[in-house]
Amino acid sequence: MRILVTGAAGRLGGRLVQVLNERKHIVTGMDIVGENVEKVDVSNFEMACDFITGLRPDLVIHPAAWTDVDGCARDPEKAIIINGFGTQHVALAAAAVGSAVLYVSSNEVFDGTAKRPYREYDMTNPINPYGYSKWVGERSILNINPKHYIVRTSWLFAHGGKNFIQSILTAAKDGKTLRVVANEVANPTYNDDLADAIANLIESGRFGIYHLVNEGACSRYAFARYALDKAGLKDTPVTPISSHEWQRPSTPPLYGSLQNMAGKHIGVALRPWQEAVDAFLEKEGLLAANE
């Protein structure tokens, strides 16, 4: 397949380019920054449309987004322009040349009031600007391009750059006091596992909405505690706190666990999140020898 990947300088986009190249697809990376990518801004309709219609890919994978959740809360209009209208531009350009689209969305399109993990076709109801902007992107894809995949995920951790695990381990090694929210629940998801799952999904040709997350859910506190223990920092104390004690501009859904029903139905599933954390730590050289 001829595949265009937006956000190719980012961690998910970059990993997708690598995985898809290894699978012998013809891949073009696109971003506004970075090396070895086409410099195209999806929030600029003319620029995005001209590039996509000129390239005429079979599929556009669209992980490009403004993922600073607190930043989106401070500037909701910017969030809509990038995550909402930027996705609309991609969907329109792809539809014009008959290209399929895969849009990477978020568990934050849900309000967090469910009593069980959210399924793919449960009612969405975002409660913060980031979630709303991703929901606008979803609606654009659904309304414009019938050949679509919508992939929701949560709590991504990846190699390179800052993520939750690295922040926790760094703070622990620096001797900082660790206070972590215990009443916010979702699925920790390993970037490498997600990229592999997306590759498997597009090769299936089964359009639809998917929840691609590592199996199982936990609180932020349990996530931190597990990572510390597996990295040989079992003696590091962590104080569980309520989300009300951790003030931030955005209000995330307290219960954001996703259930992968549609993916499993076609054989696309991710391993348990604990195994994924172990694999991440091992690759980083941080997995304790006695573990």
Domain residue spans in the chain?
Answer: 2-161+189-215+256-271
Which tokens is 208 given?
Answer: 């639809």
pLDDT tens sequence across 81-128: 999 999 999 999 999 999 999 999 999 999 999 999 999 999 999 999
pLDDT tens sequence across 172-204: 999 998 999 999 999 999 999 999 999 999 999
Q: What are the distances in angstroms from CA 147 to CA 101, 144, 207, 279?
A: 6, 9, 6, 34
Residues 6+ apart with CB under 8 A from 111: 125, 126, 127, 253
pLDDT at 95: 96
For residue 247, name the pLDDT band (cuts at 50, 70, 90): confident
pLDDT at 291: 54
- 64-79: string of b/e by CB count within 10 Å (b at 16+)? bbbbebeebbeeeebb
Which tokens is 19 given?
Answer: 């995985």
Provide the percentage of residues in the chain whose pLDDT is more than 90.
Answer: 92
Q: Is 170 exposed, middle or buried (0-12, 13-18, 19+ CB in 10 A)?
A: exposed
| DSSP class per residue in 241-259 | E-GGGS--SS---SB--B-
- 94-117: string of b/e by CB count within 10 Å (b at 16+)? bbeeebbbbbbbbbbbbbbebeeb
In whole angstroms, give the CA distance from residue 116 to residue 71. Answer: 29
| Of the candidates 127, 107, 224, 135, the residue with the CA atom closest to the CA atom of residue 172 | 224
Strand segments (E) across 58-99 = 59-62
For residue 248, name the pLDDT band (cuts at 50, 70, 90): confident
In whole angstroms, give the CA distance from residue 18 to residue 64. Answer: 16
Q: What are the distances in angstroms from CA 117 to CA 4, 124, 188, 260?
A: 32, 13, 14, 9
Q: How many CA atoms lie less than 13 Å away from 158 in the CB half-sphere?
A: 15
- The catalytic site residues sit at 130
For residue 27, name the pLDDT band (cuts at 50, 70, 90): very high
pLDDT at 289: 74
- 2-161+189-215+256-271 CATH choice from 3.40.50.2000, 1.10.10.60, 3.40.50.720, 2.60.120.10: 3.40.50.720
Average pLDDT over residues 49-78: 96
pLDDT at 290: 64
pLDDT at 246: 83
pLDDT at 160: 87
Q: Please say whether the dihedral angle defined by the alpha carbons of residues 156, 158, 161 and 167, taken in this order, is positive or negative.
A: positive
Task: Examine the pLDDT at 74 and tell me if it is beyond 60.
Answer: yes
Query: Radius of gyration (Cα) for the chain, nearest Å?
Result: 19
Average pLDDT over residues 7-22: 96
Is 238:164 a contact under the CB 8 Å cutoff? no
